[in-house]
Amino acid sequence: MEQNVTEQKKRIFSGVQPSGNITLGNYLGAIKNWVSLQDDYECIFAMMDLHTITVRQTPAELRKRTLELLALYIACGIDPEKCTLFIQSHNSAHAELAWVLNCYTYMGELQRMTQFKDKSARHADNINAGLFTYPVLMASDILLYQTDLVPVGKDQMQHIEICRDIAQRFNALYGDVFKIPEGLLVKSGAKIMSLQEPTKKMSKSDPNPKSFISMMDDFNVISKKIKSAVTDSEGIIEYRPDDENKAGINNLLSIMAVVTGSTPEDVAKNFSGEGYGTFKSAVADAVVDTIRPIREEYDRLIKDKAYLQQIYKNGAESSHRLAQRTLKKVYKKVGFIVD
């Protein structure tokens, strides 16, 4: 007998913080991957503004960057017809679930988070409770939507792990309330490194602008930054991922591989025997060629505020509807009166 079963698509949730210039790392490690997943999964992507205020923000700039991030998502190829796109603060369920889950998360596990350790070292004058409980809010973002997969860069994997731990702990107490999500990494590009200190990840909050490529940089600035990337004095183009001395070259090889759809090993083969100058010029051109069409689309979209507003309003509605199902279930389980 023929079975009439429509297979439900698996669900994906991810997001970027509008806390600074969106970098090539954010694009290659996360957003580019989302674009390739949107046909096969039910995708929800958000602008994670609640997370940004764990570090002081200038209010007008945060508002501006949140809208710019939405335009950038779409310019990168995220299709608002296929995906739900919303602003995190527009859906109060995120903060509400975070409160509940805070009561199911231990201080000890939060203390082990490397991002907390890094950020509290960098912002020693503002080690606030939000910075400490940040991973609980992130867990709430994911768990509210009964998410199957979370496509992120490598630096976020520890947060996915704690999210799974919190969900399993809650489920053990109350039954199958949350789906247990999995992190999803790209093969190459999951950790793009700083151009100036290639053993550190490329970060939008790096005080040295030469260390990262912003998706908003002028094309000649992008070229210059790549051409002045720190490498080594060996002068040999080889991919040696375990050799720290090669960190700069490994990073450029990885970048080149992702933007040209190749592998770092093959790129190294193609450039073997060439000088670093020639190689860097080729990487610069390939990166600019990748960013150019995105920027053209971005420039067009950012002028259309009404269109962007329509998208985030629709997104707020759909995300609210989906999130309420989980939140109601959670409230009921812990003993709150729900109706």
Catalytic residues, by residue number, are 119, 201, 204
Q: What are phi and psi of 212, to 5 degrees?
A: -130, 155
- Nearest-angstrom CA–CA distance, 276 and 273: 9
We find the least distance from the C-beta atom of residue 1 to ligand TYM, in angstroms, to be 41
Size of the chain in residues: 339
User: Which residues sit at the interface with ligand TYM, rule CB under 6 A?
Assistant: 13-17, 25-26, 29-30, 48, 51, 138, 141-142, 150, 152-153, 155-156, 159, 190-192, 201-202
We find the least distance from the C-beta atom of residue 272 to ligand TYM, in angstroms, to be 26
Between the alpha carbon of residue 323 and those of residues 14, 72, 145, 171, the distances in Å are: 14, 25, 6, 17
**Cβ closer to ligand TYM: 167 or 192?**
192
Residue 229: which residues within 8 A CB-CB, separation 6 or more? 195, 196, 198, 248, 251, 252, 280
Look up tokens 């079963």; give the residue: 5
Across the beta sheet with 42-47, the strand order is 84-87, 42-47, 11-16, 149-151, 182-184
**Cβ closer to ligand TYM: 161 or 274?**
161
**Cβ closer to ligand TYM: 72 or 138?**
138
We find the least distance from the C-beta atom of residue 277 to ligand TYM, in angstroms, to be 24
We find the least distance from the C-beta atom of residue 183 to ligand TYM, in angstroms, to be 9
